[in-house]
């Protein structure tokens, strides 16, 4: 297990090094899910202001603030019916009127243009109204059960969520 952690730290340092530069300039934040076995899933995002928006722009793949979110996982996961192996990825959101879609991309360049050919997984997200408008994009994980973490995305008056399951 110790060797795995060292390899994971080295791998994340190499793959996520470009994200460190953007973190300094944009004050990115991390959302962390801690599984029972000590492994983590971390999402990094830029908490851009939502202003008076009801929600994110609908009908097209969205990278908030023109930068994809990043995802690093120390464990193999399932998102919907798709497998997400241990590693580093980018996340995108496809907002719709009645549901959103979370996209996990193999691409690791946060400033790269979205490329559907790089999609590893897509999963529908449930959406609901917030009682208070979120003044900025907020992303966090909720530990919903053994080997389960739900990613929550708040923006404007809406919250979207979908569950990751640890294999």
Would you say the C-alpha torsion 85, 86, 89, 94 has a positive or negative sign? positive
Q: Are 101 and 124 in contact, with CB atoms under 8 Å apart?
A: yes
Longest dimension (CA), the chain: 48
Give the residue carrying structure tokens 């243009």.
113
Phi, psi of 112 (to 5 degrees): -75, 150
Query: What's the rounded Cα separation, in Å, for the pair 23 and 39?
Result: 23
pTM over 0.75: yes
Which residue from 46, 45, 30, 53 is spatially nearest to 134, judged by alpha carbons?
A: 53
Can you give the pLDDT of all 167 residues of the chain as single tens digits?
544 444 444 444 444 444 444 333 458 999 999 999 999 999 999 999 987 777 788 899 999 888 999 999 999 999 999 999 999 999 999 999 889 999 999 999 988 899 999 999 999 999 999 999 999 999 999 999 889 999 999 999 999 999 999 99
Which sequence spans correspond to the domains of the chain?
2-166
């Amino acid at each position: 297990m110790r060797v795995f952690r060292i390899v994971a730290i080295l791998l994340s340092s190499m793959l996520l090094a470009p994200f460190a530069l953007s973190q300094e300039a944009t004050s990115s934040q991390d959302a962390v899910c801690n599984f029972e076995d000590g492994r983590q899933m971390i999402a990094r995002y830029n908490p851009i202001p939502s202003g008076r928006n009801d929600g994110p722009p609908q009908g097209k793949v969205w990278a908030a603030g023109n930068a994809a979110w990043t995802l690093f996982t120390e464990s193999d996961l399932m998102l919907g019916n798709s497998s997400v192996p241990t590693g580093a990825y980018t996340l995108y959101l496809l907002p719709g009127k009645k549901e959103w879609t979370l996209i996990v991309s193999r691409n690791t360049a946060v400033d790269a243009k979205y490329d559907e050919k790089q999609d590893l997984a897509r999963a529908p997200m449930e959406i609901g109204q917030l009682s208070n408008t979120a003044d900025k994009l907020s992303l966090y994980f909720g530990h919903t059960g053994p080997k389960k973490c739900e990613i929550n995305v708040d923006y404007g008056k809406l919250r979207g969520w979908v569950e990751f399951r640890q294999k």
